[in-house]
Structure 1
Amino acid sequence: MTAPRAVGVRRPYAAVPATVRTWVEETLGSPVVATAEQVGGMSPGCATRLTCADGTRAFVKAVGAELNPDTPGLFRREVAVLEHVGAHELWARLLASYDDGAWVALLIEDVDGRHPDFSHPGELEAVLAGTDRLSAVLQERDVPATVDLVDVGHRFQVWAESLDTLADAPVEAPVPDWLRSDPHGWAGILRAEAARPMPHVVHWDIRVDNLLRRPSGDIVFLDWGTAARGPAWVDPLLARLERVDEGWFDGSIAGSPALREAGDEVVTAFLAGFGAHLAVRSAVAVDVNLPTLNDFRIRESRRMLEAVARRTGR
């Protein structure tokens, strides 16, 4: 089975403030009698499946600024996005939200399912087909400009800057020497993509720990804290990163109309820019209560940059 790539150190539900737990039980209308902690993702807050005395089930995620100053903002974005996109079988429904200024919590539909196995051809194909369907559905859903979505164009600009400055990056940044001069002009490709219109919502965080497979085989997309405005091809590309270190990845690009339109050069520039940025961040970032994040950066950077080398014959 494919295991989550991102695994954090989370606070258990029992350690969440009593005010939040009281809100949960009042909202669900029954006391919580059983919990099942989830480990995927990087948030230091709880991610817990709940069962109530009357049989009601729900999923709760909660975090406080005392755990990490940035994560409550991600939760607030997720609340706003789920409120605006409404209900759909492709994502878990928001039941209620809590925000006292310090702690933010979401009660979400508890989906009966497990993480898909990307090594199983049928389950992988269901993820790719589900991602294409998600992209189409999101183009029909409106999230107003007042919601602070991630700007993918800006992220491309940041990655381009990382590529431009690799020659001056810390020596401990795990960047291959051949990439430090940006030999293929990938920074320019990313800037050109950043200048294109990006009117639609994208998930922007598709990986196995944010996916569940229902018993029916249908895929459900979780964790909307980094929802963004970006090009239609980014979610199909992210869905393929689970196997970016295999030749399968290169052949799979043709299976997505959006990725075919973007082209192989753009895909490689994405991998080079994202991989280089993560490598540099692994040497300079300061993380609060996210002890596994830097290993994740290093591991993902290596996978992407090795794919760049493979795709360019390095």
Structure 2
Amino acid sequence: MIRGMPGSRTPTPLTVPHAATAQRPAWPELPSAVQDWIVDQLGSPVISAISERSGYTPGFAARLVLADGRRLFAKVAGWGREWLLDSYAKEATKRRTLPDAVPAPELITDARTVIDSVDWQLLIFTEIDGRPPHRPWTVDDIRIAVRTVEAAARALTPAPAGYPWQPLSAELGELSPDKEEMITERFGDHAAEMRELVAALPERCNGTTLVHADLRDDNMIIGADGRGWIVDWNFPLLGRQWIDLVTLLISVRGDGWDADAILAASPLVGPGDREAIDTLLADLALYYAIASGSPEPDGSPYLREHQRWSREVVADWLAERRNWPRGH
């Protein structure tokens, strides 16, 4: 059950174009030799390719219609972006370990090649007939999304074998110098509390569930049949089963919904999880504050603005939960 209404709090106006944040190459912009290689992997010519505009990475991502009638989803990395090649290759390996009960599109094939001295990585998935969640979020989309996250958590507890999964604290929780600086700058009146929260992350947030660890609205699909799907399994980690629900609800709260009421209604969250959730929010507040001030990345013109929006939403959510003056 979803409690709370859109008007229960003032929304934080979205500052990036909904489902249009990615700057991706279209099919005709791929080198002809790369197109030929992809067609060879597919086994049929590409009749149409509709680029996916959501997300924040610059790789090729498109819904393909093939001459033999199949409809597939393709992701391609290349253009000398080694970090993206590595990310896509690892995504393929990780996706293959996920059990069938996980609501994630099936990976049909992946391939790697070198064309004109440039590495290229291809991933082919089943195409999901669907769309990103509406923004602002609607009650129907929230219900589908929450149900999807809960199903994924059940299917991924305990984590599947077949990959050396790392704990959430491998990426979050360290009290690094830049976090110390940001605590002083943005949370000075609550510095000691923030340090205690962040330092407790390994104990409070690591777990035995494989969590997506990058779950936002642009990594979800609302299917035409009413089912939800989670995509882009690039960075899964071992954490508590509610981690993905909290990260997804950042955008839900930003759109004016009562995220805490949704958490309270979920079987993933228990009465003893309040401090642990605050620990995750504290670390995310620092992450977004630091990342949003970094230089603009190549090929992702809206990433920093998205991070600035998330910075404000997470900080406000944490302040409300801790009974701090808002806006510190």
TM, length-normalised to structure 2:
0.82
Indicate which of 84, 91, 96 corresponds to 2:104.
91
Match in the other structure for 1:255: 265
Report the number of matched residues.
Answer: 302
1:94-118 CA distance string (max 9 Å, x none) = 0111223622120110111122336
Aligned: 1:53 with 2:67? yes
Indicate which of 116, 120, 143 corresponds to 1:103.
120
Match in the other structure for 2:216: 207
In 2: Cα distance, 1:299 partner to 1:284 partner: 14
Aligned: 1:18 with 2:26? no
Match in the other structure for 1:172: none
In 2: Cα distance, 1:182 partner to 1:136 partner: 36
Aligned: 1:189 with 2:197? yes
Q: Is contact 1:28–1:56 with CA below 8 Å preserved after alignment?
A: no
Identity of aligned residues (%): 20
Q: Is contact 1:160–1:186 with CA below 8 Å preserved after alignment?
A: no
Match in the other structure for 1:43: 57
In 2: Cα distance, 1:47 partner to 1:228 partner: 24
TM, length-normalised to structure 1:
0.85
Structure 2 SS opposite 1:55: coil
In 1: Cα distance, 2:130 partner to 2:161 partner: 28
Structure 1 SS opposite 2:171: helix
Output aligned runs, 1:91-170, within 5 Å: 91-100=104-113, 102-117=119-134, 119-140=137-158, 142-146=160-164, 149=165, 151-158=167-174, 162-166=178-182
In 2: Cα distance, 1:87 partner to 1:22 partner: 32
Match in the other structure for 2:9: none
Match in the other structure for 1:63: 77
Output aligned runs, 1:268-283, within 5 Å: 268-283=278-293
1:7-26 CA distance string (max 9 Å, x none) = 22112122223343223222
In 1: Cα distance, 2:270 partner to 2:74 partner: 38
Q: CA RMSD in A?
A: 2.6
In 1: Cα distance, 2:21 partner to 2:301 partner: 10
- Which residue identity does 1:252 align to in structure 2? I
CA shift for structure 1 position 265: 2.7
CA shift for structure 1 position 82: 1.3
Structure 1: runs of 5+ lacking an equivalent? 169-174
Structure 2: runs of 5+ lacking an equivalent? 1-13
In 2: Cα distance, 1:273 partner to 1:222 partner: 24
In 1: Cα distance, 2:320 partner to 2:33 partner: 52
In 1: Cα distance, 2:137 partner to 2:91 partner: 29
CA shift for structure 1 position 286: 6.0
Structure 1 SS opposite 2:292: helix
Report runs of 4+ in structure 1 exceeding 6 Å deviation.
none
Structure 2 SS opposite 1:300: helix
* CA spacing shift, 1:92–1:167, aligned 2, 3 Å: closer
Structure 2 SS opposite 1:259: coil
- Which residue identity does 2:246 align to in structure 1? L
Q: Is contact 2:102–2:152 with CA below 8 Å preserved after alignment?
A: no
